[in-house]
């Protein structure tokens, strides 16, 4: 391929696909200079041929079936920008790799769930699978872990990995607005997944964490063994409690490896101290954190979603291919998948918010449950009914939040079970880990 023009076939012309076409045209000179050769789109595939995407597709071959890109002799590299762990996206990537064609994708769901098998396929067919855009949009997160920290012994990787959730949590905190309105805004800005529950229920960020952990620890982690929680249960009162207690709420991923090689990994809303650098990563921005035995702690921040940042990451991979760079998919030869340790093994300080009936004895019942499981209380706060948006009455329900000293997650789960039968505790409790980051 070297010296000659590199020809791209793009499947998916949504936010990211159209963004790639635009970036390649607007920044062609710099890209050619860095790639050492011209890069051109020659073929595309999407669902709707007539849709105006704000980019001129004249002269490009249109394939109704994206899989045809894998066998189109004009296409040197396939860009899979459709999305989804199954269906056309998966079939296209597998078909292209089997045909020995390099693939660049932004598809974190595909990589997190089928990454181990795809790596084997790429190796067997002596070709490349690159996915910088799949984690943290424009931040070079994959390159950081796979190449920049290749000589280190990483013990932790994680961060804020979903732009939509961070945008929603930031806007809720700043404006007190409702979740639903803000989600619609994030969708209009092109941040959200086709099915936004993938974002708000934590799955998208968990896919990214699994990819980072696989690269960091040299071994794909079994996706279904991660502990995953989304942000749907975060209420306005949690933002108020967090402010009052000196914290901010972030959907935070953390994967840690201990000396025996066991991996703990979770993606969940957490409380972080207001003064921590990661607490101030707001809006669509993501932050990737690493901790290495040699490099120490590191945090890099940037836009985690949207057309420009994601297209920039896709094209960085294409430039690597144009230069002839070849790397194993997971940074080293494939090793078997590993399951994460159960969440009960985690430990730390916890925030627990309950909605309780405002009557004598409620706090005693709750502290009894904490005592029974050896959990020590650090702080407790109850907000008045007015703040909870409820009129005072004999059945008034108020939010009550407590923060514990260091304890085990197993103990906190037992406390939740003990609180379940209490008729004074209403609705679903919210348990968040406090991360010092």
Ligand X SMILES: N[C@@H](CC=O)C(=O)O
Ligand Y SMILES: NC(=O)C1=CN([C@@H]2O[C@H](COP(=O)(O)OP(=O)(O)OC[C@H]3O[C@@H](n4cnc5c(N)ncnc54)[C@H](O)[C@@H]3O)[C@@H](O)[C@H]2O)C=CC1
- Nearest approach in angstroms of CB 346 to ligand X is 24
x/- string (CB under 6 A) for ligand Y, residues 167-186?
--------------------
- To the question of whether residue 314 is assigned a binding role by annotation, the answer is no
Are residues 14 and 131 in contact, defined by beta-carbon separation less than 8 angstroms? no
Which residues are annotated as catalytic?
Answer: 208
Report the residue number, 193 or 358, with the smaller CB distance to ligand Y.
Answer: 193
* Residue 199's binding partner out of ligand Y, Na ion, ligand X, none, with CB under 5 to 8 Å set by partner kind: ligand X
Residues that bind ligand X (CB under 6 A): 137, 162-164, 191-193, 199, 204, 304-305
Residue 403 binding result from ligand Y, Na ion, ligand X, none, given CB thresholds of 5 to 8 Å by partner type: none
- The item of ligand Y, ligand X, Na ion, none sharing an interface with residue 88, based on CB under 5 to 8 Å by kind, is ligand Y
Tell whether residue 14 is among the known ligand binding residues. yes
- The minimum distance between CB 158 and Na ion, in angstroms, equals 15
Q: CB of 14: closest distance to Na ion in angstroms?
A: 18
Q: 9 with 77: CB under 8 angstroms?
A: yes
CA–CA separation, 48 and 64 (whole Å): 9
By a kind-dependent CB cut-off of 5 to 8 A, residue 12 interacts, out of Na ion, ligand X, ligand Y, none, with: ligand Y
Nearer to Na ion, 69 or 142 (CB): 142
Nearer to ligand X, 162 or 266 (CB): 162
**262 scored as a contact of ligand Y (CB under 6 A):** no
Q: Which of residues 43-102 bind ligand Y (CB under 6 A)?
A: 45-48, 66, 81-83, 88
The residue within the footprint of ligand Y, chosen from 13, 121, 139, 231 (CB under 6 A), is: 13
C-alpha–C-alpha distance, residues 248 and 241, integer Å? 9
Under the rule (CB under 6 A), what is the footprint of ligand Y?
Answer: 11-17, 45-48, 66, 81-83, 88, 106-108, 133, 137, 190-191, 193-194, 305-306, 310
- Please enumerate, by residue number, every residue annotated as part of a binding site: 11-18, 108, 193
């Amino acid at each position: 391929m070297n010296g000659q023009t590199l020809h791209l076939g793009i499947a998916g012309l949504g936010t990211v696909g159209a963004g790639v076409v635009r970036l390649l045209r607007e920044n062609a000179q710099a890209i050619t200079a860095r790639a050492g050769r011209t890069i051109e789109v020659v073929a595309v595939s999407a669902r709707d041929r007539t849709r105006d995407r704000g980019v001129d597709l004249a002269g490009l071959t249109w394939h109704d079936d994206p899989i045809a890109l894998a066998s189109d002799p004009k296409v040197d590299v396939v860009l899979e920008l459709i999305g989804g762990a199954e269906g056309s996206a998966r079939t296209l990537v597998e078909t292209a790799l089997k045909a020995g064609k390099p693939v660049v994708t932004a598809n974190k769901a595909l990589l997190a769930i089928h990454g181990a098998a795809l790596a084997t396929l790429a190796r067997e067919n002596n070709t490349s699978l690159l996915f910088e855009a799949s984690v943290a949009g424009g931040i070079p997160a994959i390159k950081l872990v796979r190449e920049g920290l290749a000589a280190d012994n990483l013990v932790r990787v994680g961060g804020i990995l979903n732009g939509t959730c961070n945008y929603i949590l930031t806007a809720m905190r700043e404006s007190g607005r409702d979740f639903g309105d803000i989600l619609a805004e994030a969708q209009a800005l092109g941040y959200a997944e086709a099915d936004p529950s993938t974002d708000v229920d934590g799955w998208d960020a968990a896919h990214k964490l699994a990819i980072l952990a696989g690269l960091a620890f040299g071994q794909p982690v079994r996706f279904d063994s991660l502990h995953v929680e989304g942000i749907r249960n975060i209420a306005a009162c949690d933002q108020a409690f967090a402010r009052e207690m000196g914290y901010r709420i972030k959907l935070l991923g953390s994967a840690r490896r201990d000396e025996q090689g066991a991996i703990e990994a979770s993606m969940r809303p957490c409380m972080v101290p207001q003064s921590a650098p990661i607490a101030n990563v707001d809006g669509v921005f993501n932050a990737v954190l690493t901790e290495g035995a040699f490099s120490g702690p590191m945090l890099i921040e940037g836009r985690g979603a949207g057309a420009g940042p994601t297209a920039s990451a896709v094209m960085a991979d294409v430039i690597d291919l144009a230069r002839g760079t070849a790397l194993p998919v997971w940074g080293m030869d494939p090793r078997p998948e590993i399951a994460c340790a159960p969440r009960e093994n985690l430990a730390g300080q916890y925030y627990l918010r309950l909605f309780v009936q405002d009557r004598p004895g409620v706090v005693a019942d709750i502290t009894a449950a904490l005592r029974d499981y050896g959990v020590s209380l650090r702080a407790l706060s109850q907000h008045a009914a007015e703040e909870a948006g409820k009129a005072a009455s004999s059945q008034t329900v108020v939010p009550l939040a407590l923060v514990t000293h260091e304890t085990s997650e197993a103990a906190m789960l037992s406390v939740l079970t003990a609180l379940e039968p209490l008729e004074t505790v209403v609705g679903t409790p919210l348990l968040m880990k406090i991360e010092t980051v």
